[in-house]
Structure 1
Amino acid sequence: MATTQKVSMRDQFSSGIGRREVLAGAAGVVAGVSLVGLTPAAAVPAAVPKFAPNAGRSVRVLITGDAGTGTRTQWAVADAARAFHAREPFAMAVGLGDNIYDSGPSGPDDAQFATKFEDPNAGLDFPWAMVLGNHDTSGIFPGDGGWLARGNHEVEYHAKSSRWWMPSRYYSVRVPEQNPVVEFFVLDLNPLAAYIPPQLDPYWAVDGPYMNAQRAWLDRALAESTAQWKIVCTHHPYLSNGPHGDAGNYEGLPIEPLNGVHAKRFFEDHVLGKVSLLLSGHDHTLQVLEPTPATKGTRQIVSGAAGKTSGGQPRLTTGGHSALFETQHELGFMVMDLTADSVNLRVLTVDPASGASTQVFDRRLG
């Protein structure tokens, strides 16, 4: 397996790094943020200056998911985030997938990057660590996850945007770079949870080269991390009280692998008990679930209501996980404040007409 390299952004501009080196696992270090990982298609060195996080020993993070509709609802949530940022500035954001509805971009120059990311988020000028979702990798019908290579366009867009951070399909973010308070591990589990499984290309198979490399990278990265707080970010959740349900029972389907059984095994073998928090989207809800014996102390948080809600959709009867907070029918986002000693989470719901937000949850989680 290739060795991950560390490359500063200044060096990326000046050293003429070739595509071979980038594909071996590019890492960008920009004023306190590190982005590392392995990938089949990593972004070329950025052609634009990248925003850096304004963070020291205290890190405030905007957590959104399933935002990329380009509709008034996305703008309303972004308006509320802008107002919050003016009062209490964010250091960075995490976007938990489904960044470009309904079927992902057609290339790195697709106009949807402007209409569904840049324009709504104008003024939110900090790094956005982005996760690939099933709608970002659609092939035949929206959300099928059946064209996995399509996600490479979002990796390529990393080279073109000051905000958008996706140097690889999976990577990590340390803040600050030295003696980090937090490290986010951004994963791509679409090959394990696609509604059209990748039967024709062994590269994307459950035990194929891509997923085996990602497993090995995550195991090593978690073991080597010196961060006080380790947080995994995925699109698909392990547990959810929303309509999509739990891994291993997605959509209430009894059919493997469409029920996400391989994602369930990945979480259980490589994530649970090894990180404090698991952040996911997919369900268009806001949920702060309690840890369970199955999660080995890891808390599942779902933040997927930045563009649409699950109101009106039937809920699975197999959910019912204990929650500190949840809402199925309101737009919103979350705010996480991290120090070396604590993690505090706030949930804000958003009025779709006015863009006004209401804080509905505020709790120290660690």
Structure 2
Amino acid sequence: MNNDSTIGRRGFLAGAATVAAGASLVGLSPAEAVPVAAGLTKFDFPTDRSVRLLITGDAGTGTRTQWAVADTMRDYHRREPFSLAVGLGDNIYESGPNSAVDVQFAEKFESPNAGLDFPWLMVLGNHDNSSVLGGDGGWLLRGNNEVEYHANSPRWWMPSRYYSVRVPEQHPVVEFFVLDVNPLASYVPPIFAPYWEVDGQFMSEQRAWLDRAVAESPATWKIACTHHPYLNNGPHGDAGRYEGLSVAPINGIHAKQFFDDHIVGNCHFILSGHDHSLQVLEPTAASKGTRQLVCGAAAKTVAAEPKLNPGGSGNAALFENYHELGFMIMDLTASSVDLTVVTVDLAGGGATEAFARRLA
């Protein structure tokens, strides 16, 4: 039986068969970007050379926790407007949408974010690509429903599974490279779907596109946006040691290789969710100067979850919070990057600026 929270066996098998047959899928690469529906006007990207970015992740629950965080975002937006936002994946819990017109888009994105009327750069997460169990990442075709939704919403920006955006478009201060690491980090590896395999067509094309896009970027700041983090002190762990596991590929060893070969040393920041925490990590020798931020506490916190990797990874951090909801704000100019971490008290409804520092 199909409904908004479960997936039918027939639909799953049909989707898997489509991928295995190598059929053309909508919106997989920038060359196949989804067009906007006739009559729909998307919110404009900023033209200023001062950019105020709202960073949020793992938000799509539709619960009061998501609404509490969004209420605080609205308060900040009224006082000092955001230019745009990035949503770092797990946009529709627990198992992703069933179609591009699924009511979950309204319940878990549009309604909670009402009034936050600017472009939202959306990243695909493991829950957005679920098959049998929520978050298993085992039905990658399912994520295309979120790509197709790009045609239906003024604020949701996901014209492809991976893409880039320059802000402003001319003489950009920043370029965002929104990436899809799910084929490399799924708990259900795509062993029967060559298209999605580690060295299959999708990832090969994404690697080539990313190398070219980063090399050609004229932006002052280059920011990679992924769901799965490269470095992470929370329960999910670092790439290559996800969940504290040594078993490839579910430990994210292929994701680590992707970060090592194509992102670290080439981008100034990596913004990721996945771990339901707020972390401002220091660059490491391995990250070649690239700084990792983890921002996945827009609706859930680590404190309410089993400790899959209790010791964490021990990366040096300027700030870490694993028990409070929250989001981040990044202010970018041609000469500086300032970061603010805002925590939200669900019981009292208050907000605290728990961290504020110039990072560059």
Superposed pair shares fold, TM > 0.5: yes
AA at the equivalent of 1:178: Q
Deviations 1:255-287 (A, max 9, x none): 100100000000000000001000000000000
Structure 2 distance, partners of 1:246, 1:24, is 26
Match of 1:362 among 340, 356, 359: 356
Asked if 1:320 is matched to 2:310, the reply is no
Aligned to 2:336: 342
Aligned to 2:4: none
Aligned to 1:97: 89
Deviations 1:211-251 (A, max 9, x none): 00000000000000000000000000001010100000101
Shift of 1:52: 1.1
Match of 1:176 among 168, 172, 178: 168
Shift of 1:352: 1.4
Quick check: 1:97–1:131 contact (8 Å CA) kept in 2?
yes
Match of 1:282 among 263, 274, 279: 274
Asked if 1:154 is matched to 2:140, the reply is no
Deviations 1:36-81 (A, max 9, x none): x245xx4233331000134401000000000000000000000000
Structure 2 distance, partners of 1:24, 1:139, is 18
Where has structure 1 moved over 6 Å in runs of 4 or more? Answer: none
Q: Structure 2, unaligned stretches of length 5 or more?
A: 1-23
TM-score (normalised: structure 2): 0.90
Structure 1 distance, partners of 2:37, 2:178, is 19
Shift of 1:24: 9.1
Q: Structure 1, unaligned stretches of length 5 or more?
A: 1-19, 26-36
Aligned to 1:213: 205
Aligned to 2:19: none
Shift of 1:355: 3.5
Match of 2:34 among 31, 38, 43: 43
Asked if 1:66 is matched to 2:62, the reply is no
Aligned to 1:16: none
Shift of 1:191: 0.2
Deviations 1:113-166 (A, max 9, x none): 000000000000000000000000000101000000000000000000000000
Shift of 1:361: 0.6
1:293 partner SS: coil
Structure 2 distance, partners of 1:223, 1:53, is 23
Match of 1:119 among 98, 111, 117: 111
Aligned to 2:67: 75
Query: Structure 1 residues 253 and 107 mapped into 2: Cα distance closer, same or farther (>3 Å)?
Result: same
Deviations 1:311-331 (A, max 9, x none): 143243251111000100100
Structure 2 distance, partners of 1:168, 1:220, is 17
Quick check: 2:327–2:343 contact (8 Å CA) kept in 1?
yes
Quick check: 2:232–2:312 contact (8 Å CA) kept in 1?
no
Asked if 1:87 is matched to 2:79, the reply is yes
Quick check: 1:249–1:261 contact (8 Å CA) kept in 2?
yes
TM-score (normalised: structure 1): 0.89
Match of 1:235 among 227, 232, 236: 227
Shift of 1:254: 1.4
Quick check: 2:303–2:322 contact (8 Å CA) kept in 1?
yes
2:302 partner SS: coil
Aligned to 2:249: 257
Structure 2 distance, partners of 1:186, 1:199, is 25
Quick check: 1:245–1:316 contact (8 Å CA) kept in 2?
no
Asked if 1:190 is matched to 2:182, the reply is yes
Shift of 1:23: 5.8
AA at the equivalent of 2:155: R
1:311 partner SS: helix
AA at the equivalent of 1:332: G
Structure 1 distance, partners of 2:213, 2:221, is 13
Quick check: 1:251–1:316 contact (8 Å CA) kept in 2?
no
AA at the equivalent of 2:345: D
Aligned to 2:346: 352
Structure 2 distance, partners of 1:358, 1:194, is 35
Aligned to 1:145: 137
Structure 1 distance, partners of 2:311, 2:28, is 45
Quick check: 1:38–1:214 contact (8 Å CA) kept in 2?
no
Quick check: 1:54–1:90 contact (8 Å CA) kept in 2?
no
Quick check: 1:276–1:298 contact (8 Å CA) kept in 2?
yes
AA at the equivalent of 2:328: M
Query: Structure 1 residues 24 and 301 mapped into 2: Cα distance closer, same or farther (>3 Å)?
Result: closer
Quick check: 2:283–2:291 contact (8 Å CA) kept in 1?
yes
Structure 2 distance, partners of 1:278, 1:230, is 9
Asked if 1:133 is matched to 2:130, the reply is no
Aligned to 1:303: 295
